Amino acid sequence: MDLNWTPEDLGFRDEVRAFLAEHLTDELRDAGRWMTSVYGEHRRSLEWQRILHRRGWAAPAWPKEHGGAGWSVTQRYIFARERVAAGAPPVSPMGIQMCGPAIIGHGSEAQKAYFLPRMLSGEHFWCQGYSEPGAGSDLAALQMRADADGDDLIVTGQKIWNTHADVANWGFFLVRTARLARPQQGITFLLIDMASPGVTVRPIVSPSGEHIQNEIFLDQVRVPKANVVGAIDHGWTVAKYLLEFERGGTAYAPELQDRLDRIAEAAREAGMANEPGFARQLADARIRVAALEIYEFRAMSAGGAPGMAASVMKILGTELQQRATELGMLVAGRYGFAYQPQAGCPGGNVSLPHADGEALGPRFAAIAPLRYLNERAGSIYAGSNEIQRNILAKSLGL
């Protein structure tokens, strides 16, 4: 595998840099650089998505015939690196990176024609309805019921940990349409209009004080069978396909490299960059991120869905994200004891009381505890890392 960029790759990199320099405002750069969770601030992320859409770059991995950029793996990786380096906010992954590939891979032609253009433009903003109070990592235990009634399904039940469901107008849900021999059977992948009568969204406030997550309650919600992706009772195949993109559909290394660079810069400013203990820990993190980058290159060069590589990238990527937050807390020092959400660009409204105005200490240090708290969830969502290790062990016949 040749890791050197070709002249064409370097030309594409320069094109991306010019585009970012032209279109990124100070507000958008702040929204990317001072995020306090893995999700960007909704309004700014949507603004950035619309800018990308006008250029045809909103969906780097989608085929051109569906409105995507149609980029090679190398181009997608270069764009990811340059976006992070420039400070651009991420686009919400729920639609373009997760539901979109599921519709492209398993949806009907009518579903592709209707949903994909609206997903790209941001007219439809998506949330995910997978986990339930009794079905998290054991997703096949889900109980949300959908009963057939003519051309419709009547859906009743509860979902939890639904990111940005409070601002979403569409959601993709797993519902139980039959009880068969195996729990993975009888599950259906369903697209639901969040404005439907009977849909209720309630907030969940994270330890950082941000309202990003939600509960969703569906009470006799009528959904057309035309909104089923794939076949009724066979949604588990679609769900597994989507989860590959959620766990390993994007590269972790570019964002991690940028974060470690910023941690190193903050450490120099704090006068601790040359402390042997800290320097050794930072070097160890850099080596691990470099190894992850090589793995991501290999996995993406294979093309298609990530497959088992998704579990490897999810484990390594989220655990390194958590390691980065720990290093950030070391640099923050005493400023890490303060609660200062006003210093960051949170992924949702901050519900806990806090001071307004300037933050105490360096801005990097002020948001370090917020990143630390938010990213404790990284090794749990999209299937806990323990579940990912079980998946890998099973694939190896262990």
Residues with catalytic roles:
246
Buried b vs exposed e over 167-197: b needs ≥16 C-beta within 10 Å?
A: bbebbbbbbbbeeeeebebbbbbbbbebeee
**Residue 247 parent element (H or E):** helix 235-248
DSSP assignments along 317-369, one per residue? HHHHHHHHHHHHHHHHGGGGGS--GGGSB-SSEE-S----SSPSS-HHHHHHH
The residue count of the chain comes to 398
Q: Which SS3 state, helix, strand or coil, does residue 396 take?
A: coil
d(CA 192, CA 105): 19
C-alpha radius of gyration, the chain, whole number: 21
In 3D space, the residue among 12, 11, 84, 95 whose CA is nearest the CA of residue 49 turns out to be 95
Q: Which residue matches tokens 């369903």?
A: 190
Mention every residue, 6+ apart, whose C-beta is less than 8 A from residue 33: 87, 345
The CA distances from residue 249 to 76, 99, 138, 184, 209, in Å, are 11, 12, 21, 23, 28
**396 phi, psi to nearest 5 deg:** -90, 0
Residue corresponding to tokens 């105005």: 357
